[in-house]
């Protein structure tokens, strides 16, 4: 199968179950909402070492936020509810509460919830105020800029992490140009994020390592400099491989994100150095969600 | 199915306890059985059909027509459904209510929403004293829910309330929010003397400066309260009627108090300004 001359490998991306939540960060203006959101998504590229994966989902108009101010929605993924419980209060506390004029709310309705304001309220040192409005509990924590307003809990739901595809290009520059367009296209799909910096992974990994203390290590089959040393998946013309990893609220949203992302990358074609699209899988051992490239692009 | 409708045949001489006439209590009962339900009338007990003509089937939606202020305990303990009353009601409207909606097109007696812990009461008229307040000996007044009064309210609105929201669109009497433990009272017109007297926590939000504020409240000056943005946005999302709050900005003159108790409550006097400010 080829799209615009770009070969689509007959393979599949392998994704795994995760738990997801969505927070809404509002502020005096979008600039400060983005500052808070960027802080919370910093060091949140992969659960391998960061504990969570997080990214900005989209900007929100004042009419879409609980307090009528401009904001952004941030989606956060983790391997378990316990991990979310551990990371949400610390990340919101250190990244959002510290950003001037911000407030933080739940962006996901669910019966299953994790603490947010419920934990952060103690920063108020006894001066915090609880308010129940419209069936939801909010905390007003007095801070030096005024008050930090935070919803008591946030909803958590089942999700899918690790949807992916690989862009095999002649050079890193050409690969990255195509990936940027692919990420732009993916950002328009609701319910998905690409948590790595800029949405692109420069150092995709495989599961395990020759070293016992590592759970993940370089994916040597796709490293251009290891052609000849290992059983490489790359032909002589491939000089760079970049990966786009997608987490989503469900399989369908990941499928749609992969579809639009691959099509956007393929628009560049072999003349602009994009030769192949492949995907990362571990023989079906990593997770139950399999996204066959050729099937989803039909 | 048509709403279950109770029409008062004549104005009762004595107070009439209509607490059995709730969606919870009437659900699954036949019309004949409903007509034979006993109601406490003065010192006697009478059947429903001695005082009301009854028609309709849907117990989830109850209407009381030609109501008057002798009807006490309207909607007591209800947890679901709706109760619409055309006319006035007596004391203890929605007492111990846990859910559902009561709408009164008329005036209400005292202690509306006493011991309420959920649901909503709309009074499209005036209410007398102790709206959402606790009875003597009660630890708390209302513990959750929302009371919306389009007319005026008497003294001691929300006395000892623990949680919930009371909105008074007309005038409020003296000691509005007295001794409240928490919760929110919003008064959009003139307010009498000493609002928040003895309050521990909670918010009393006033659109107009009250006649007198107790010396045990400390001015914090004019502050931009993001909480007000949240509250007004959420209320407007609940009910288009609450779009009335759109004209108020987040800036308010804040008084903290009552310092004679522990000063963790607040009186916020709203200012009408540009929301984008």
Select the residue of A127, A133, A147 nearest B226 (Cβ to Cβ).
A147
Per-residue pLDDT band at B275 (split at 50, 70, 90): very low
Q: Are residues B91 and B205 in the same domain?
A: yes
Interchain contact B215–A (C-beta under 8 A): no
Interchain contact B234–A (C-beta under 8 A): yes
DSSP β-bridge partners for residue B63: B5, B84
Query: How do residues B58-111 score in pLDDT, each as one tens digit?
Result: 999 999 999 999 999 999 999 999 999 999 999 999 999 999 999 999 999 999
Q: Are residues B14 and B120 in the same domain?
A: no
Q: Are residues B28 and B102 in the same domain?
A: no
Query: CA torsion sign, B54 to B56 to B57 to B63?
Result: negative
On chain B, the residues whose CB falls within 8 A of the CB of A101 are: 226
Domain closes at, from B63, B86, B112: B63
Q: Are residues B186 and B114 in the same domain?
A: yes
Establish if B26 belongs to a structural domain.
yes
The total number of structural domains in chain B stands at: 2
- In this prediction, the residues of chain A whose per-residue pLDDT falls under 70 are none
Distance from CA of B229 to the nearest CA of A (A): 5
Contact A136 B234 (CB under 8 A): yes
Per-residue pLDDT band at B274 (split at 50, 70, 90): low
Domain that holds residue B191: 73-270
Q: Are residues B120 and B252 in the same domain?
A: yes
Q: Are residues B226 and B105 in the same domain?
A: yes
Cα gap A196→B15, rounded to integer Å = 71
Interchain contact B208–A (C-beta under 8 A): no
Supply the pLDDT for residue A285: 77
Per-residue pLDDT band at B276 (split at 50, 70, 90): very low
Does the A19-157 domain belong in CATH 3.40.50.300? Answer: no
Contact B238 A134 (CB under 8 A): yes
b/e sequence A48-58, b meaning 16+ C-beta within 10 Å: eebbbbbbbbe
Q: Are residues B59 and B85 in the same domain?
A: no
For chain A, strand residue ranges (E) read 2-3, 6-8, 12-26, 53-60, 71-78, 103-106, 113-115, 129-133, 136-143, 146-151, 153-169, 192-193, 205-207, 216-218, 240-248, 274-278, 289-292
Establish if B276 belongs to a structural domain.
no
Share of chain B above pLDDT 70, in %: 98
Contact B227 A127 (CB under 8 A): no
Per-residue pLDDT band at B273 (split at 50, 70, 90): low
Query: How do residues B126-173 score in pLDDT, each as one tens digit?
Result: 999 999 999 999 999 999 999 999 999 999 999 999 999 999 999 999
Cα gap A250→A240, rounded to integer Å = 30
Q: Are residues B48 and B80 in the same domain?
A: no
Is the CB of residue B166 less than 8 Å from the CB of residue B132? yes
Sequence ranges of chain A with CATH classification 3.30.70.520? 2-15+160-297, 19-157
Query: How do residues A43-91 score in pLDDT, each as one tens digit?
Result: 999 898 899 999 999 999 999 999 999 999 999 999 999 999 999 999 9
Q: Are residues B149 and B110 in the same domain?
A: yes
Q: Are residues B82 and B57 in the same domain?
A: no
Establish if B114 belongs to a structural domain.
yes
Average pLDDT, chain B: 94
Distance from CA of B81 to the nearest CA of A (A): 17
Q: How many CA atoms lie less than 13 Å away from A285 in the CB half-sphere?
A: 5
The mean pLDDT value for B172-190 works out to 96
Q: Are residues B250 and B163 in the same domain?
A: yes
Establish if B68 belongs to a structural domain.
no
Q: Mention the CATH class of domain A2-15+160-297.
A: alpha beta
Contact B165 A133 (CB under 8 A): yes
Per-residue pLDDT band at B277 (split at 50, 70, 90): very low
Establish if B275 belongs to a structural domain.
no
* CB neighbour list of residue A135: distance below 8 Å, 6 or more residues apart: none
What is the total residue count of chain B?
A: 277
The mean pLDDT value for B35-55 works out to 94
- Strands of the B38-41 sheet, one edge to the other: B44-47, B38-41, B16-17, B71-72
Q: Are residues B235 and B115 in the same domain?
A: yes
Establish if B1 belongs to a structural domain.
yes
Burial tier of B43 (Cβ tally within 10 Å: 0-12, 13-18, 19+): exposed
pLDDT at B211 over 60: yes
Domain closes at, from B13, B30, B63: B63
């Amino acid at each position: 199968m080829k799209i615009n001359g770009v070969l689509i490998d007959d393979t599949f991306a392998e994704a795994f179950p995760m738990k997801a939540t969505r927070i809404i960060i509002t502020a005096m203006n979008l600039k400060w909402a983005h500052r808070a959101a960027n802080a919370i998504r910093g060091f949140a590229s992969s659960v391998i070492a960061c504990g969570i994966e997080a990214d900005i989902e989209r900007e929100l108009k004042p009419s879409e936020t609980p307090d009528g101010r401009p904001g952004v929605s941030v989606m956060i993924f983790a391997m378990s509810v316990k991990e979310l419980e551990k990371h949400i209060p610390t990340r919101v506390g250190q990244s959002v509460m510290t950003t001037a004029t911000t407030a933080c709310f739940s962006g996901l309705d669910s019966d299953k919830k994790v603490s947010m304001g419920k934990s952060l309220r103690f920063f108020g040192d006894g001066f915090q105020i609880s308010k129940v409005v419209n069936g939801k509990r909010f905390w007003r924590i007095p801070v030096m800029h005024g008050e930090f307003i935070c919803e008591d809990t946030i909803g958590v739901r089942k999700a899918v992490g690790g949807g992916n595809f690989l862009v095999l290009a002649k050079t890193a520059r050409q690969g990255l140009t195509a990936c940027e367009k692919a990420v732009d296209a993916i950002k328009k799909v609701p319910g998905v994020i690409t948590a790595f910096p800029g949405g692109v992974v420069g150092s995709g990994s495989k599961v395990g390592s020759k070293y016992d203390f590592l759970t993940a290590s370089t994916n040597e089959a796709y490293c251009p400099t290891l052609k000849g040393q290992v059983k490489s998946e790359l032909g002589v013309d491939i000089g760079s491989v970049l990966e786009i990893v997608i987490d989503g609220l469900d399989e369908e949203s990941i499928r749609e994100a992969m579809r639009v992302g691959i099509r956007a990358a393929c628009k560049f074609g072999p003349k602009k150095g994009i030769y192949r699209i492949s995907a990362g899988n571990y023989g079906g051992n990593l997770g139950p969600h399999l996204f066959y490239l050729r099937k989803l692009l039909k | 199915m048509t709403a279950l409708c109770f029409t008062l045949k004549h104005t009762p001489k004595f107070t009439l306890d209509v607490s059995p006439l709730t969606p919870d209590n009437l659900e699954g009962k036949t019309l004949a059985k409903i007509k034979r339900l006993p109601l406490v009338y003065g010192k006697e007990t009478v059947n429903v059909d001695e005082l009301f003509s009854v028609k309709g089937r849907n117990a989830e939606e109850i209407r009381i027509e030609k109501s008057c202020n002798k009807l006490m305990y309207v909607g007591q303990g209800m947890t679901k459904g709706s109760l619409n009353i055309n006319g006035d009601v007596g004391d203890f409207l929605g007492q111990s209510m846990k859910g559902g909606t009561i709408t009164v097109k008329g005036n209400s007696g005292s202690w509306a929403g006493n011991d309420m812990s959920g649901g909503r009461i709309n009074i499209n008229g005036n209410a007398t004293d102790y709206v959402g307040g606790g009875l003597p000996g009660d630890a708390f007044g209302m513990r959750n829910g929302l009371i919306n009064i389009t007319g005026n309210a008497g003294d001691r609105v929300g006395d000892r309330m623990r949680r919930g929201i009371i909105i008074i669109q007309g005038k409020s009497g003296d000691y509005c929010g007295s001794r409240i433990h928490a919760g929110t009272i919003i008064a959009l017109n003139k307010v009498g003397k000493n609002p928040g007297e003895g309050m521990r926590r909670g918010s009393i939000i006033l659109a107009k400066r009250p006649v007198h504020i107790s010396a045990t409240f400390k001015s914090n000056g004019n502050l931009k309260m993001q909480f007000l943005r949240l509250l007004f946005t959420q209320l407007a999302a609940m009910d288009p009627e609450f779009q009335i709050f759109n004209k108020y900005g987040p800036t308010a003159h804040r008084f903290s108090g009552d310092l004679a108790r522990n000063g963790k409550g607040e009186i916020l006097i709203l200012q009408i300004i540009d929301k984008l400010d």
